[in-house]
Structure 1
Amino acid sequence: MVRWASAEELPDLVAIEVAADGLFAEVGIVFPPGTTMVEEVDDAAKVLVEGEPPAGFAMVSWVGGAVHLDQLAVHPGHMRQGIGGRLVEAVCDHAAAAGAAAVTLTTFRDVPWNAPWYAQRGFVVIEDLGPELAALVEHERELGIELAPRVVMRRAVGTAGE
């Protein structure tokens, strides 16, 4: 069941992110130290989780008038059980309920469990980013996260996004 995280759960989500990020090494992507995103979260209302204790999480924010999926991570020991898909759908439901027209994200173009996986869930690559998304992409570059080709994707949600 997907739910909002509690403040007490936030520190434990770091282990999920680190474990999930470890899978990228299999495709030659190793993230620089200090880029664990969930460590920076100071508000549990920005993080959806699934499981008791959580097996995966989705971290969200607002960028350019859309809900932005900052991070999606599922512990490798719990992958291929639909957790990631349920978290994405919960993010899209949250966005629609909050009045957003879309959910956006940045992801690796050629990693099978990144852009192709999101495309199967209705996200499309966009080129026209607008100033806030463009600034986010530039910030990711400055952090050293762009270790392979990345894309920005968008999925329309709710009646405002149709």
Structure 2
Amino acid sequence: MTGDPADSFIIRLARLEELPRLTEIELDAFATLADARGGSREAHALPESLLRQSLDDDLLFVAADKENQPIAFLAGTQSDEMLYIREIDVARAWQRKGVGRRLMATAIETARASRLRGVTLTTDRFVSFNAPFYARLGFSEIVDSDLVPELRKALHNEVSVGMGADRRVAMILRFT
């Protein structure tokens, strides 16, 4: 790849027939996260039903390469006047090229255009391309007492599948 990597992909809404590819991307990206955490926990992917819900809500975005094939995705859902980022994954070959940043910018822009109050997500507290990355985008940690039920449930579910409770954090980017 030559030139600016940002010129090598576009952001668009996902298509139904791309859902299997998005699962492949998520499983591929997991290897980078497992390496960063120093663990080998078994990879898992979002259930297709959650991807479909994001798709139906026009909150499933993909980064597509020059052949219009997905290389990354962001799945969101709207709740409590907030956009909740369920998942964001970038295929390993495309990591560290601004793809995740552009997907996040698209989600944030979509939330603002929809007049939502902000964007929330859950993530790993320590991995550099997780919480520290989101902090650079303007997100801040949500203290436990301020967690809405949906985020509390998301954190509980993440811990129940083996993610360390001390590593998980909910974050928010407030617009108002």
TM-score by length of 2: 0.81
Is 1:50 aligned to residue 63 of structure 2?
Answer: yes
**Deviation digits for residues 104-154 of structure 1 (CA, Å, limit 9, x no counterpart):** 000001101100011111111111112222122222222333476111110
Is 1:65 aligned to residue 81 of structure 2?
Answer: yes
Number of the residue aligned with 2:15? 6
Structure ID, larger Rg: 2
In the alignment, the residues of structure 1 paired with residue 147 and residue 39 of structure 2 have an alpha-carbon distance, to the nearest angstrom, of 25
Is 1:103 aligned to residue 119 of structure 2?
Answer: yes
SS at match of 1:37: coil
**Deviation digits for residues 86-118 of structure 1 (CA, Å, limit 9, x no counterpart):** 000101111112221110000001101100011
Give the paired residue count.
157
Number of the residue aligned with 1:136? 154
Number of the residue aligned with 1:28? 38
The answer as to whether partners of 1:24 and 1:30 remain within 8 angstroms in 2 is: no
Unpaired segments ≥5 residues, structure 2:
1-9
Unpaired segments ≥5 residues, structure 1:
none
| Larger relative contact order (Cα-Cα within 8 Å, sequence gap ≥ 6) | 1
Cα–Cα, structure 1 residues 147 and 53, in superposed 2: closer, same or farther, change >3 Å?
Answer: farther
SS at match of 2:153: helix
The answer as to whether partners of 1:126 and 1:152 remain within 8 angstroms in 2 is: yes
TM-score by length of 1: 0.88
The answer as to whether partners of 1:61 and 1:69 remain within 8 angstroms in 2 is: yes
Question: What percent of counterpart residues are identical?
Answer: 31
Is 1:120 aligned to residue 129 of structure 2?
Answer: no
